[in-house]
Structure 1
Amino acid sequence: MATNILDSAKVLEQTIRESAEFIHLKQQYDNVYADEATKKIFDDFRNMQLNLQTKQMQGEQITQEEVMQAQQQVMAVQQNEKIAALLEAEQQMSNVIQQINKIVMKPLEELYND
């Protein structure tokens, strides 16, 4: 039985890779990484996000300076059309993944809600 579930998961993986949403996401990602200046803005933004998330998870206080830097990076990201398109494509892919997760988890939800 487990093998069938894992085989189905592998089929789902391939289906995701071939989906319009994933292909669009990959195109937007490639557009960002093809432009060095845009890539740097995006990488700095991602690093800032990770650093702030790590601090929050560790219970550390985020400084006012870090908040200001984050706001500046968010503004730079919002003004960059390539990054904005990538973030929109990421959101679309995230919505698909959420829908998949809801479907996959339905048997457990029904089990525990009975």
Structure 2
Amino acid sequence: MAINIYDSVNQLEKDLRQSDQYQALVDVFKKIDADEEVSKLMDEFKKIQKDFVEKQQRGEHFNEEDQQRAMDSSKKMQENEITKELLAAEFQLNTLLQDINEAIYKPIRELYE
């Protein structure tokens, strides 16, 4: 009997959305959206990350001013309770995703052992 793997993937997506790890991340984003100061902090951090990636793609390097902006923004992120909560929630979700990835690749990995 043939199995439709996409049915399993779609169910996995639904299950992931119901997981404690995903729900914790959703809750943190609600807190961020409700706090204007934290929202601005996140926007600044994302802009710095985007600028860094764009400069890398163009073969440019971050200058001292760029590096200082990145360090200052990172420090603010680490000092804020909501963004610390975000980092913890992202870590937990990432751990879950790594476990899922391990399970998905297990049969393939076993073939090569």
TM-score norm. by structure 1 comes to 0.89
What CA distance in whole angstroms lies between the structure 2 residues aligned with 1:106 and 1:54? 35
Q: How far off is 1:109 after superposition? A: 1.7
Secondary structure in structure 1 of the residue aligned to 2:4: helix
Q: How far off is 1:4 after superposition? A: 1.3
What CA distance in whole angstroms lies between the structure 1 residues aligned with 2:58 and 2:92? 30
Counterpart of 1:34?
34
Alpha carbon RMSD of aligned pairs, Å? 1.5
List gaps (5 residues or longer) in structure 1.
none
Alignment deviations for residues 61-93 of structure 1 (CA, whole Å, 9 cap, x no partner): 111111110000011111110111011101110
TM-score norm. by structure 2 comes to 0.90
Alignment deviations for residues 20-61 of structure 1 (CA, whole Å, 9 cap, x no partner): 111111001110111111101011112212221332244321
List gaps (5 residues or longer) in structure 2.
none
Q: How far off is 1:99 after superposition? A: 0.9
Counterpart of 1:53?
53
Counterpart of 1:23?
23
Counterpart of 2:92?
92
